[in-house]
Amino acid sequence: MTDTLDDTAGPAAGRQAEPVGADSAPSYEVVLVTYHSHAQVAGLLDALGPTVPVAVVDNASGADGVPALVAGRAGTRCLDGENVGFARAANLGARSSTADYLVFVNPDTRPTSAVLESLVADLAADPTLGSVAAATTGADGRIELGVGGWEPTPRRALVYAFGLHRRWPRAGVVARPQVGEEIELGWITGACLAVRRETFLRLGGFDERYFVYNEDMAFGRAVREAGLRQRLRTDLLVRHATSSSGPRETARRGAQLPKMPQQKGASMASYLVDHNGPVVATFMRAVLMAGFLPRLGVAVLRRDRDARRHHLAYLKGQATRRSPYRS
């Protein structure tokens, strides 16, 4: 699960993407998982243009009119995700595709077709690459924190939990590279991520144990274990959208406020347990929870109700490993 509509421009933008020639372009399809994001999906499809093939996996089962939105768009298909979570829905889109390459795109991003073609061209040119992603940016044009990162270790967890990654940006769990910076990462974000379909399926796709969040970290681990590399294109910038949600979507996000941070905490806790021994996993979970306590205290002192709910929900997820979206 991380604005303007200008995807590759702006004060901090890198070089423009170079489209692949029409004769040499390999086949690719965008896989888009949506949940009550009608306005965002509409904005994304407009940004992509009419020629990019898209598989929309609708986890809202048509409740907000997404199937009708995409019905008239050439090269676009809509699948019912039945609210099975991001990882499983993305895998559904991947398995049902016949394209050589897949580009997973979040509905709140605005990549152009040129950006997607550059990512696919990287994969086509380098068989040692398992995945390649564009870097997402905020409204200020800066690359966002969490566009990728490294495998959690006790030391990295300590750095991340207490905000020391601001001083030592490559010592924590999440990365925030500069535009154009070459950086070696252990995992990269799935917000605008290109893969070979065959490789993705051979590696098992996204780990469906994680309803949402940490599936990109788990996939990065699978890529590394397969002896493949990952690349974050910090010269290809994709902006998050602004003001793209209607009032119903905004109200729904407000209702989801406690659930999303709880899911983040639960997914991270589950990942740590799944990939570490009990002592190390317990230590890292305790460290991450301890790092949230000062933030919770500040929220209480400031009487910031939303921040307090956010931090309490994250702590609940870390402590219980319980997803609020699963019974």
Q: What is the pLDDT of residues 205-236, one digit of tens each?
A: 999 999 999 999 999 999 999 999 999 999 99
Same domain, 280 and 166: no
pLDDT tens sequence across 114-160 = 999 999 999 999 999 999 999 999 989 999 999 999 999 999 999 99
The answer to whether residues 122 and 208 belong to one domain is yes
Q: Is there a single domain that holds both residue 226 and residue 260?
A: no
Which domain-ending residue is among 171, 204, 239?
239
State percent of the chain over pLDDT 90: 83
Question: φ, ψ for residue 106 (rounded to 5)?
Answer: -75, 145
**Considering the domain boundaries, does residue 11 fall inside one?**
no
Phi, psi of 92 (to 5 degrees): -60, -45
Asked whether residue 266 is domain-assigned, the answer is: yes
Q: How far is CA 324 from CA 24, 122, 213, in A?
A: 46, 38, 13
Residues 176 and 169: beta-carbon distance below 8 Å? yes
215 shares a domain with 171: yes
Q: Are residues 184 and 275 in the same domain?
A: no
Domain boundary (191, 212, 239) is at 239
Q: In terms of residue numbers, what domain contains 115?
A: 28-239
The average pLDDT across 50-65 equals 94
* 94 plus 189 within the same structural domain: yes
Residue 243 region by backbone torsions, left for phi larger than 0, else alpha for psi between -120 and 50, else beta: left
User: The whole model's pTM is what?
Assistant: 0.88
143 in the same domain as 42: yes
Q: What is the pLDDT of residue 4?
A: 26
Q: DSSP assignment, residue 34?
A: E
Is residue 49 one of the residues assigned to a domain?
yes
Residue entry with tokens 């499809």: 45
- The pLDDT of residue 11: 32
Strand-pair category, 129-137 with 192-196: antiparallel
The domain total for the chain is: 2
Residue 316 lies in a domain: yes
Tens of pLDDT, residue by residue over 10-45, are: 333 333 333 344 445 679 999 999 999 999 999 999
Q: How far lies 82's CA from each of 31, 35, 209, 322, 324, in Å?
A: 16, 10, 16, 20, 16
- What does the pLDDT look like over 261-290, one tens digit per residue? 999 999 999 999 999 999 999 999 999 999
- Are 171 and 273 part of one and the same domain? no
Query: Could you tell me if residue 154 is inside a domain?
Result: yes
- Contact, 103 vs 116, CB < 8 A? yes
Residue 6: the pLDDT is 32
Same-domain status, 175 and 266? no
**Which CATH number do you get for residue 75?**
3.90.550.10
Do 34 and 132 lie in a common domain?
A: yes
For position 244, what pLDDT does the model report? 41
- 205, 239, 273 - which closes a domain: 239
Residue 23, in any domain of the structure? no
Predicted pLDDT at 327: 66
The verdict on 169 and 275 lying in the same domain is no
Q: What is the pLDDT of residue 246?
A: 42
Predicted pLDDT at 102 = 99
User: Which tokens in the block code for residue 327?
Assistant: 């019974």
Domain-embedded: residue 248: no
177 located within any domain: yes
Residue 257: is its pLDDT beyond 70?
Answer: no
Residue 197 has pLDDT above 50, yes or no: yes
Question: What is the rounded CA–CA span in Å between residue 52 and residue 120?
Answer: 13
In this model, does residue 48 exceed pLDDT 80?
Answer: yes
Q: Are residues 159 and 96 in the same domain?
A: yes
